[in-house]
Amino acid sequence: MMKTALAALALFSMCAPAFAAPLDPIPLWPNGVPGETGLNLPAESIELKGDYQIQIMSNVSVPTLTVYPAEKPNGAAVIVCPGGGYNILAYSHEGTEICEWLNSLGITAGLLKYRVPRRESLEKHAAPLQDAQRAIGLMRNRAAEWKVDPKRVGILGFSAGGHLATMALTSDGTRSYEADPSLDSASPVPNFGVLVYAAYLLDEKNPDILSPEIKVTDKTPPAFLVVAHGDERFVEGSARFYIEMRRKNRSCELHIFAKGGHGFGFRNTEEEIRQWPALAGKWMEAEGFLGGK
């Protein structure tokens, strides 16, 4: 079983495997987005940027969850949170490509299109956390339909999306919005997290402690973290999160690569750090989240 993740990644890299088409996007707030009813917000847009022609999504006001079903599901599911500083979403190399990779491991992926840019008068993560918590609950509520084990629902995030994933992972289960019994009957806390060059993990005034909104406890679910030593702004946040997990005796794996910078996504780098998906796949398998353990 331990070779499965590596083999899947190699297959994905060498050719373009056939994936099941994603399902239609599901609006997360059918009865109105919290705090935004009646607001006149800019229209959503997508543009291509950079050498890798990355899809950049702007002005998200109608958050959705797009489910990518695995052709041979193993019961695991992962909510994917692209990064973008809580101002835009790096939608392809930190979103759609990740969902296809997860599918290659037998994981049902859910691409979270959360609200950006930051809302005035709110914490940077306030609106996105509502979206993430609703998405996690939705994945569990419809687990039977999507062939998902509700006890193996994880979250994966990049940069600001990594901070968002960390917020969901370390939550005590209290929702950041008024629950709707028809949509929020399941827990909003994921069973595990994959945090890729996660941003904003350190307190702005004291870099020796975690941000006050992130509280690691003796119940925090397992986590996998990867970051580059050269990611000067955020590398220490991942290290500090690992230390706090270790002190609480929680399962955690951290990889710090010598090179790689920030924002490379799934494979947009020639540095050694591009092997992180294989390592993350092996970790999920070893922890039993892919089944068979």
pLDDT band (50, 70, 90) for residue 39: confident
Which residues have CB under 8 Å from 195's CB, separation 6+? 156, 157, 162, 165, 166, 169, 223, 224, 225, 226, 238, 241
In a domain, 175, yes or no: yes
How far is the C-alpha of 82 from the C-alpha of 183, rounded, in Å? Answer: 23
* DSSP state for residue 82 in the 8-state scheme: -
For the purposes of burial, counting CB atoms within 10 Å of the CB of 35, is it exposed (0-12), middle (13-18) or buried (19 or more)?
A: middle
In a domain, 293, yes or no: no
How far is the C-alpha of 264 from the C-alpha of 268, rounded, in Å? Answer: 5
> pLDDT tens digits, residue range 72-115?
999 999 999 999 999 999 999 999 999 999 999 999 999 999 99
CA-atom Rg of the chain in angstroms: 18
In a domain, 195, yes or no: yes
The answer on pLDDT for 8 being more than 80 is no
Count other C-beta atoms under 10 Å from residue 34's C-beta.
17
Q: Is the pTM of this model over 0.75?
A: yes
In a domain, 292, yes or no: no
Long-range own/partner contacts, residues 9-17 (CB < 8 A, 24 or more apart): 9/101, 9/104, 9/277, 9/278, 9/281, 11/104, 12/100, 12/101, 12/104, 13/267, 17/104
> pLDDT tens digits, residue range 240-273?
999 999 999 999 999 999 999 999 999 888 899 9
In a domain, 181, yes or no: yes
The per-residue pLDDT for 40 is 81
**Between 138 and 12, whose confidence is greater?**
138
How far is the C-alpha of 111 from the C-alpha of 237, rounded, in Å? Answer: 25
In a domain, 98, yes or no: yes
> pLDDT tens digits, residue range 40-74?
888 999 998 877 788 999 999 999 999 999 999 99
How far is the C-alpha of 94 from the C-alpha of 269, rounded, in Å? Answer: 13
Residue 81 domain boundaries: 4-35+43-286
Counting the structural domains of the chain, the total is 1
Please give the backbone phi and psi of residue 43, each rounded to the nearest 5 degrees, phi first: -70, 140
How far is the C-alpha of 203 from the C-alpha of 186, rounded, in Å? Answer: 31
The answer on pLDDT for 12 being more than 70 is no
**Arithmetic mean of pLDDT over the chain:** 92
> pLDDT tens digits, residue range 153-212?
999 999 999 999 999 999 999 999 999 998 999 999 999 999 999 999 999 999 999 999
In a domain, 291, yes or no: no
CA 271 to chain centre: 22
CATH of the domain at 90: 3.40.50.1820
Supply the DSSP string of 194-234, one letter for each residue. EEES--S-B-SS-TTSB-TT----TTPPPEEEEEETT-TTT
The per-residue pLDDT for 49 is 85
In a domain, 217, yes or no: yes
The per-residue pLDDT for 15 is 39
Count other C-beta atoms under 10 Å from residue 183's C-beta.
15
